[in-house]
Amino acid sequence: METTLSSGTHLTSLSRTTGLAQLRAFGAIIWREYLHFVRYPTWVIAFIIWPILFPATYIFSSFALAGPSGVGVTRFLEVAGTDNFLGYIVVGTSVWMWANTLLWNVGFALRGEQMRGTLESNWMTPTSRFLFLLGSGPVHAVSMLMFFLFTVVEFRIFFHLTFNANLFSLLAVFLAALPALYGLGFTFASLVITAREANAFVFLVRGIVMIFCGITYPLAVMPPWMQAVAEWLPPTLIIRAARLAALNHASLEVIAPDLVRLLAYGAFWLALGYLTFSQIERRARLKGALNQY
């Protein structure tokens, strides 16, 4: 070894914890997430194949139901308030994908690190542990914009689908959805690193939510009690508002009631998520759940 490291007799750490340093750490977490995103080639599949594959089964069954002359569409128009059933399905499925991607990337951020073996090396640094959760979302939230772009282009080409979107309202929907999705993500993230069985539970919840929130059909076709439950689920509101903004060129005033409720749910879930995380983080230190898979 020819090189020696610079050091004095009294070693003092180079680590300086300041607000700015925490912010820089937050940036580094997003950057790490970005590098992983682009280096796993699955994103190509996610962007090019999924936009068309995921809604495909619903679309073809809806073609069958509509009949060759489209007689079924009158009924659809009655309950859904639009005869653009193709657009209805596509917006439903792609907004669901967006919410899902964000929610589960946050929800499984810690679990993923735990399985990879890097969770402890992150948690033994002076960076606030909450930042690791917060930093896992932005890359995926933004990357999904690419997903939307592909969706629009692919459906234009293959199905001649046109949208009548108010982009400003649409952006407002996505922004209003963030707190609720993050809050839910924090809650799930905390559960899945300590309780082994939480994984199964979380998948169950996802399956149930998918039925309730009307991804490809209007809520009106469900029994009243299911409709009542659906009103409490953030994805229902996100999808409904996004449809109005993307297909009916709805202005902000039209979707405002749903957005306000989304923000209220967001405040609730963020608070709950933060509390759960703080509790679980302490519990993990006491019970030693971090290094056990």
Partner 1 sequence: MSDYAIEALDLVKKFPRRAPAEQTPAPKNPLARLFHRPPPGEFTAVDHVSFQIHRGEIFGLLGPNGAGKSTTIRMLCTLLEPTSGTARINGYDVVREANRVRQSLGIVLAGERSIYWKLTGRENLEYFAALYHIPPEVARRRIDELLDYMELTSRANELVEKYSTGMRQRIVLSRALLARPPIILLDEPTLGLDPQAARRIREMVLDLKRQGHTILLTTHYMEEADQLSDRIGIIDQGKIIALDTPSALKQRIRQQDVIKMEVAGWKPEMAEAIQSLSGVSQMVSRYLEQDGIWEIHLQTGNSRAILPRLIEHVNTNGTHLVNLNIVVPTLEDVFIHLTGKALRD
Ligand X SMILES: Nc1ncnc2c1ncn2[C@@H]1O[C@H](COP(=O)(O)OP(=O)(O)OP(=O)(O)O)[C@@H](O)[C@H]1O
Concatenate the DSSP letters of all residues of 169-185 into one string: HHHHHHHHHHHHHHHHH
Cα distance between residue 170 and residue 179, in whole Å: 16
Long-range contacts from 257-261, C-beta under 8 angstroms, 24+ separation: 259/172, 259/173, 259/176, 261/237
Instruction: Select from partner 1, ligand X, none the partner in contact with residue 254, using the beta carbon and a kind-dependent cut-off of 5 to 8 Å.
Output: none
Nearest to 241 by CA among 197, 176, 145: 176
Cα distance between residue 220 and residue 228, in whole Å: 11
279 binds partner 1 (CB under 8 A): no
Q: What is the CA radius of gyration of the chain?
A: 22
Cα distance between residue 193 and residue 289, in whole Å: 8
Residue closer to ligand X, measured from CB, 50 or 123: 123
Q: What part of residues 97-136 is at the interface with partner 1 (CB under 8 A)?
A: 116-118, 120-127
- Minimum distance from residue 252 beta carbon to partner 1 (Å): 38
Task: Tell which one of 3, 41, 223, 225 touches partner 1 (CB under 8 A).
Answer: 3
N- to C-terminal Cα separation, the chain:
39
226 binds partner 1 (CB under 8 A): no
Instruction: Select from ligand X, partner 1, none the partner in contact with residue 116, using the beta carbon and a kind-dependent cut-off of 5 to 8 Å.
Output: partner 1
Please give the C-alpha separations between residue 31 and each of 27, 75, 149, 224, in angstroms, as whole numbers: 6, 49, 23, 46
292 binds ligand X (CB under 6 A): yes
User: How many Cβ atoms sit within 10 Å of the Cβ of residue 282?
Assistant: 10
44 binds partner 1 (CB under 8 A): no
Candidates 89-97, 128-136, 171-179, 285-293; binding stretch for ligand X (CB under 6 A) = 285-293
Cα distance between residue 98 and residue 219, in whole Å: 20
- Minimum distance from residue 265 beta carbon to partner 1 (Å): 23
- Minimum distance from residue 115 beta carbon to ligand X (Å): 15
Count the site residues for partner 1 by CB under 8 A: 54
57 binds ligand X (CB under 6 A): no
The contact pattern for partner 1, residues 256-275, with x = CB under 8 A and - = no contact, is --------------------
Count the site residues for ligand X by CB under 6 A: 3
- Minimum distance from residue 250 beta carbon to partner 1 (Å): 39
Helix axis angle for 85-107 and 73-80, nearest 10°, is: 50
Query: Would you state the torsion angle of the CA atoms of residues 95, 96, 98, 103, taken in this order, to the nearest 10 degrees?
Result: 140
- Minimum distance from residue 183 beta carbon to partner 1 (Å): 20
288 binds ligand X (CB under 6 A): yes
Task: Tell which one of 25, 106, 139, 215 touches partner 1 (CB under 8 A).
Answer: 25
- Minimum distance from residue 107 beta carbon to partner 1 (Å): 15
- Minimum distance from residue 22 beta carbon to ligand X (Å): 28
70's enclosing H/E stretch is none
Cα distance between residue 134 and residue 250, in whole Å: 31
Binding residues for ligand X (CB under 6 A):
288, 291-292
Binding residues for partner 1 (CB under 8 A):
1, 3-18, 21-22, 24-25, 27-29, 31-32, 35-36, 39-40, 116-118, 120-127, 195, 197-198, 200-201, 204, 282, 285-288, 290-291
